[in-house]
Structure 1
Amino acid sequence: MKILVPVDGSEQSIKALEYAINLLKLTNPKSNHSQDKGSGEVIIVNVLPHFHIPLGFEKPMKSIKTGNTIPLSEYIAEMNEMLKTEWAEKLSEIKDKFADSGVLVQTQLLEGSHSSRAIADSIVEFSTQVQADLIVVGNVGLGGISKIKALGSVSRNLVETSHRPVLVVH
């Protein structure tokens, strides 16, 4: 079984990841780190926001890397690259936490948008590409307030648009 777990760093997304790994342990008690067809696999995915600038809105900014004055478009490119590097490290740390779980854990960064619909669409498209059997997602992410909402916008959009089963962890 191949399970896709979107992670945004929220407590609920980590809870969903733990649930997915435990689910695989229950369904594949003899699973190991091999990629045999019988063993389970979890793919942790994060959709990176991609910052854009409106046309004609170029202004000078201080570089994050050098401190020199650069065009806004270069500054945005630095921010996007910095986010990508930070999330690659975070996903690696999360993966390492589950190295002894007996479940094959992989990670993937996807480029996306700030829109919850676009994030969900990226996850759904990727789940089709990797032929995931199940998507396990936390009920709310960093943007949701669990005492007010039962489902965050990304979780809701995943449930509404995915052609694959979606398990929402509360």
Structure 2
Amino acid sequence: MRTILIPVDGSESSGRAVKAAIKAANELGGANLHIITVHPPIVSGNVTRFFSAEAINEYYQDEGRNALLPAKALLDEAGVAYQEKVAIGPVAITIADYAKKNQCDLIIMGTRGLGSVTGLVLGSVTTKVLSLVDIPVTLVK
């Protein structure tokens, strides 16, 4: 059975990627779907000086759960089983590492997420993921 990874960030683009993954799973007669959201680590010394590691981790988990909600709603509505992951790290590298560790056969992802730069043909995370993996990546606009 194929394993499909869908990186999500709560954006409309990642929602369309989830819909495409559901369709692909149905066409394949089933697939193991994994949704992942990655939060870049907070590197500001001011933040880590004023907040405990536990409070920062709680923040990461809360933000991650919020980013996963739209994808989970689509998957639940479609009746498709999935695994979910909230990760912290360099976004593209963490996605690529997850795909490798979980033996994913395919990544389906949006072309642009919620980043601050809009209007680019491909988002920076998308471009970096493409350069880091050796499995097919389907981009959904």
Equivalent residue of 1:98, what SS?
helix
Moved over 3 A (4+): none
Structure ID, larger Rg? 1
User: C-alpha distance in 1, partners of 2:107/2:122?
Assistant: 15
Matches within 5 A, 1:109-148: 109-112=86-89, 118-143=90-115, 144-145=117-118, 148=119
The number of equivalent residue pairs is: 138
Q: Partner residue of 1:32?
A: none
Considering fraction of residues, name the structure with more helix. Answer: 2
CA contact (8 A) 1:13 1:138 kept: yes
Change in Cα spacing, 1:89 to 1:50, as seen in structure 2 (3 Å) is: same
Which amino acid in the other structure matches residue 94 of structure 1?
A
Query: CA shift at 1:101, angstroms?
Result: 2.0
User: C-alpha distance in 1, partners of 2:96/2:62?
Assistant: 23
Matches within 5 A, 1:1-170: 1-28=2-29, 39-54=30-45, 72-75=48-51, 77=53, 78-91=55-68, 94-112=71-89, 118-143=90-115, 144-145=117-118, 148-170=119-141
Percent identity between the two aligned chains: 30
CA contact (8 A) 2:22 2:78 kept: yes
Give TM-score, length-normalised by structure 1. Answer: 0.72
User: C-alpha distance in 1, partners of 2:66/2:80?
Assistant: 20
CA contact (8 A) 1:41 1:103 kept: no
User: C-alpha distance in 1, partners of 2:66/2:34?
Assistant: 16
Give TM-score, length-normalised by structure 2. Answer: 0.85
Which amino acid in the other structure matches residue 40 of structure 2?
P
User: C-alpha distance in 2, partners of 1:157/1:90?
Assistant: 20
Runs of 5+ consecutive residues of structure 1 not aligned to the other structure:
29-38, 62-71, 113-117
Runs of 5+ consecutive residues of structure 2 not aligned to the other structure:
none
Change in Cα spacing, 1:102 to 1:22, as seen in structure 2 (3 Å) is: same
Greater RCO, CA 8 A, separation 6+ = 2
RMSD, matched Cα: 2.1
User: C-alpha distance in 1, partners of 2:111/2:73?
Assistant: 24
User: C-alpha distance in 2, partners of 1:110/1:83?
Assistant: 8
